[in-house]
A and B are shown apart, each in its own frame.
Chain A
Amino acid sequence: DAMVIQNPRYQVTQFGKPVTLSCSQTLNHNVMYWYQQKSSQAPKLLFHYYDKDFNNEADTPDNFQSRRPNTSFCFLDIRSPGLGDAAMYLCATSRDGVAGTDTQYFGPGTRLTVL
């Protein structure tokens, strides 16, 4: 049973054309994360939500935005994709991040290609 679902699995967009990636979870976890992972590199955290509280990493470009309309869904918006934004985008969840004791559950990722 899928617990963290990402749609689409593959996304192709044009340079400068806005794109939205979707993540949903059936775990009822209160923390959701978005990571960017380029080929053969470590996942890089872009931002996370603790419930409705948005936490942006200091070096996340303004071109990246996120929305979390409810507990189950979280979206990653890339306003004007550049060639350097081509990557795998991973969504993850965890339960009660403050406690720090629980694992992160990852979705399968969305591979973004920018033409």
Chain B
Amino acid sequence: KQEVTQIPAALSVPEGENLVLNCSFTDSAIYNLQWFRQDPGKGLTSLLLIQSSQREQTSGRLNASLDKSSGRSTLYIAASQPGDSATYLCAVRRNYGQNFVFGPGTRLSVLP
């Protein structure tokens, strides 16, 4: 059974810092991996989607990498801003299926 973990559970950084969020999954047979952002009391917003054949994806200040063999993904946020404060979740999609398995998220606070 696929399990997804995220470290750290919470992170607080001063504005302007570069930071890395980690996601680990136990079964490397994944179809793709997706990073989401969730603001308090709201739904999820997709940030980046990485196919199993890809190593990384970039969007603006965000860069996500995928190492399938080791069961890891990282989300790199450059020059963090207070508006980046949210919970960041990763989710993996199993092969031959349509179901995403989510990690518990990392709650990020960027202090002005």
Interface, chain A (partner B; CB < 8 A): 4, 6, 31, 40-45, 48, 50, 55, 57, 88, 90, 92, 94, 97-98, 100-109, 111
Contact = CB atoms under 8 A, between A and B. Distances in A.
A40 B104 contact: yes
Contacts, number: 60
A108 B98 CA distance: 21
B100 A104 contact: yes
A3 B4 CA distance: 28
A43 B42 CA distance: 12
Q: Which 3 A-B pairs have the closest CB atoms?
A: A97-B98, A42-B102, A106-B43
B79 interface: no
A103 to B, nearest CB: 4
Contacts of B98: 31, 48, 50, 55, 94, 97-98, 100
